[in-house]
Chain A
Amino acid sequence: MAKTYDVLIIGSGAAGGMAAWVLARAGASCLMLDAGPLIDYDKQRVMKPVYDLPYRGFGKPGRFPHVTQASEFDANLWADEKQNPYSYDKSDPFYWVRIRAVGGKTLRWGRASWRLSDHVFKAKDHDGFGDNWPIGYRDLAPFYDRVEPMIHVMGRNEGLPQMPDGNIQIDESPDSESVKRFIAACRKRDIPTTKSRRATGTLASSTNLLLPAALESGNLTLTPNAVVREITIDPATGLANGAVFVDRRSKNEYEVKARVVVLGASTLESCRILLNSKSTRFAQGLGNSSGTLGQYLFDQFYVKNVVTAVVPEARGGKGGRGLMGGGGYVPRFRNLQRNDRKFLRGYAWDFGGGFTPSPRYLPLYGEELLKEMNELQGTGFSLTTMGEALPRKENFVRIQPDVKDEWGIPSLHITQKYGDNEYAMAKDSMETASELCTDAGFQVIAAHSQMVPPGESIHELGTVRMGADPKSSVLNGWNQSHDVRNLFVVDGSSFVCGGVQNPTLTILALSMRASEYILDQRRKGAL
């Protein structure tokens, strides 16, 4: 008879990896299932020149219509959309960007690591929209304190209430003159700036920072290539008792048993597993007595290169390290004290300089273009907007039973569109960024407010949201199902709203907190 594990962990990225790190090291016997293979970096990667790739770096046409991040070099790392289909209404595309491998998206994340503040956790208190989280900054701060050193976050503490200080290595690097000029322009308008705050190291993934210690404990069993079809329920107790998975390669089906189930398969995959886990007791999906499972999908909208400018003094190769290079971050500055804009919430910018602007911005060709490109080498300065998308009930996912993935598991139909609030914010970000660049003495060569399609930021959140009220949420403040007390969902699907901050640090902190709660409840005999 197969073993019954203390905890089944589904997913091995930030959420699942942290759960394993906490639970296995504390002595719980854990089984981790991941839908993808375990990657051997030495065997899977070879150095190649771009001209030796079949498509000269363009990539196979049509292979990744929704993964703009994929290059021909790393195309084999991203989830194949034919094996893993999903759909959306034609007029509202959703770009679902996935990696199916042990480590998940921590293999390729951007590493920006900002704390959420009570401007996010208690957003409804600030502007009346949506719902508050059932927890506040004070609840999560001790976990942020512990997670940041684990992933070696470096940045600068500025004492800003909307962007709490962290337990981080302080970045003392000097700013270039162009960055100083931009910061000065921001300061004149009381717009805060800071250094980027990022996890450091050659690799900052659950595969090198979390899973090795969990495996070393002897309490973690890691099973790759296990595509979970559903979480199973004991009909007598109504508690989760394991899962059914399909082996990715053989397509053979297996059952596993556990006393507690921790779901951390990524926002939309976790939601999909719950929606596909139907039973007599939970006909609309596991833990869905509220009917909100799948609803309140949101992300952070991006306006990539909202403004691209040239630093005139750097033309003709006069830039150099003193004038050009480096960058930083502008934390959210709109609507903090009062709502004085035509939109709710706010946006942040990443900014940086020292690159050569794309030739597509220049209305030239031929020798004139080459000459101008030569002049512009290293003169570029640009900003990218990251804005808060409001969580709305009408943005949701549902199962489409007839469209199945390669393993016979029903796929998702995704509905998310941006509304007037996001459009107004994007426009404001373009206008303000242009003004700041002009104030700094830069020459704006391109500005736009076109948001990338929902999903492309890879910050999709919600659909299995927390809440104080079981009638309007799926999870309580411990990432625990209101309906099934031994079921926990610890990834981005649990977010109530997301602010402008990249979500991975918060996912890690939430997973750590929920996992320690599981240990505590098991000690008390409640799980």
Chain B
Amino acid sequence: MSTAIATKPLETTWTDICNLEQIPVAGGVNALVENTQVAIFRTRENKLFAVSNFDPFSKANVMSRGIFGSTKRDGRDVYKIASPILKNTFDLETGQSFDDLSVFLRVFNVKLEAGRVLIGVLW
């Protein structure tokens, strides 16, 4: 039977990662956040995305080294990332694979504050 249950509401913990300039435009970097590898991407308009760096298809930590791009879905451009290993592509907003809709990359909160990039993990 259930015993003690946490009463504190879940909170997002923010971790400071790097300067915005350290992320190449239309490219990505990999960050270590609480033992988790997070791939962060920067668009040409300085919008940021953060997803798990682990490619579920090749099972290697490589997503940040993939090619950033977009694809048209239902008439609108969706940002995507292609794994460098087998070129599987994922929706950067939802983390969903375009090749196998049942496969997802974990999505992380990301924000820009005073030129610094922060990753938020919900605990």
Is the pairing of A and B real? no
Name B residues whose Cβ lies closer than 8 Å to a Cβ of A: none
Name A residues whose Cβ lies closer than 8 Å to a Cβ of B: none
